Amino acid sequence: MASRTTMEPRELQIPVQKDPDILAAAARLAGEDLCSIADLSSAEVRAILKLGHDVKRNPRDYRHALDAKQMVLMFEKASLRTRLSFETGINTLGGNAIFLDQTNSPLGERESIADVARNVERWVDVIVLRTYAHDTITEMAANSRVPVINALSDFEHPCQALADFMTLEEHFGSLNGINFTYVGDGNNVCHSLMLTGAQLGANVTIATPRGYSPDIEIVTLARDIAQANGCELRLLQDPAAAAEGADAIYTDVCVSMGMEHESTKRAPIFRPFQVNETLMQKAQPNAVFMHCLPARRNAEVTDAVLDGPQSIVFDQAENRMHAQKALLLLLLGGLANVEKFQ
């Protein structure tokens, strides 16, 4: 893997309110859903990240952008970062969050998802779902007249990936040509990272144990996107080879929520894929370590790496809020209420 030796400036090249990517995304994405990173073009991914950086630097400019907008979060899975980052995000934009705990009553069980959508769309402006089945997300979106956001499903975690690559931009500037390595399970997070990296021109390497590769449909789509953007997607089964020359090494738990019954089976399979100091030494000297959290300490990553100087995991967590604020602004037409965009 070739090393990346030059980094472009971190700051936006033109004022955010005149950025053509942001203006075009604001026009196209208003009222749309985000079920998958594949719902976005490369320019729209760039726009979300550019806007996210500006929202983070200049929060006061956006504090009334979503005045009186109502967001409902319907979560079938436990959450710390996703719930709080969405709630604080819309609150600081002037809107309001309503949380519905679906952990004991999965969506579609008490009444059909279509009926839920047709009710909820009459009260709120955006629906944020954290579910097991990805079909729950797409069915809600198909039946709702207000935007639906995937806050995690068994197939993708797009909001996580947007925050992750926003964090990488803070550290490296332009991500075109960066070498990004993911080590571990080919799961929902892996899927969204592959797609987002390809959209931004990053060279993405995925290292998984045999039998735990990412979904072939996502692989094919990510490869097509990568080819169009002049970058590369590699799938390996050797974590050491994948880490060689990497600018960023990312991992996740090897047992996702809902898969706990496989813990005993998976533990020995994924042990060689642990991110430890030896593996990090194969990366570039200025490489960063990433994890979506929560982490199983000394399982998929050692304490020395997770708490070490290369770790940016809490920057990632912080940027969940800023990236999601940018997403909400675009989906809900909020830039029309921001003075500098008028």
Active site residues per annotation? 130, 157, 160, 252, 292, 320
The residue among 29, 256, 33 whose CA lies nearest residue 139 is: 33
